[in-house]
Amino acid sequence: MIDWRDRITIEPGKRGGRPCVRGMRIAAEDVLGWLAEGMTHAQIIADFPELTEEDIRAVLAYAADRQRRTAIAAA
């Protein structure tokens, strides 16, 4: 699995401290929302050429890791 920590950043003054891709103003939740709406990786990259396939996979890995941590904390 990709190490999302290399690509997902959190800066207090950027996007309200939300996790973003490589310090850009594209939040992880934006990418997840586009995927949930049915956009393909290729469509997202076409609309946002500054993103890469690895960025999208890092967002997915971040979401999976966060879900695992939430499930463990709730157990």
Residue 45 sits at the vertex; the CA angle it makes with 24 and 21, to the nearest 5 degrees, is 25
Is 18 a residue whose pLDDT tops 80? Answer: yes
Average pLDDT over residues 11-36: 96
Q: What pLDDT is attached to residue 68?
A: 87
d(CA 28, CA 37): 14
Exposed, middle or buried, 42 (CB in 10 Å: 0-12/13-18/19+)? exposed
Report percent pLDDT > 90 for the chain. 83
Residues in the chain: 75
* pTM score: 0.87
For the domain 4-74, what is the CATH code? 1.10.10.10
pLDDT at 71 over 70: no
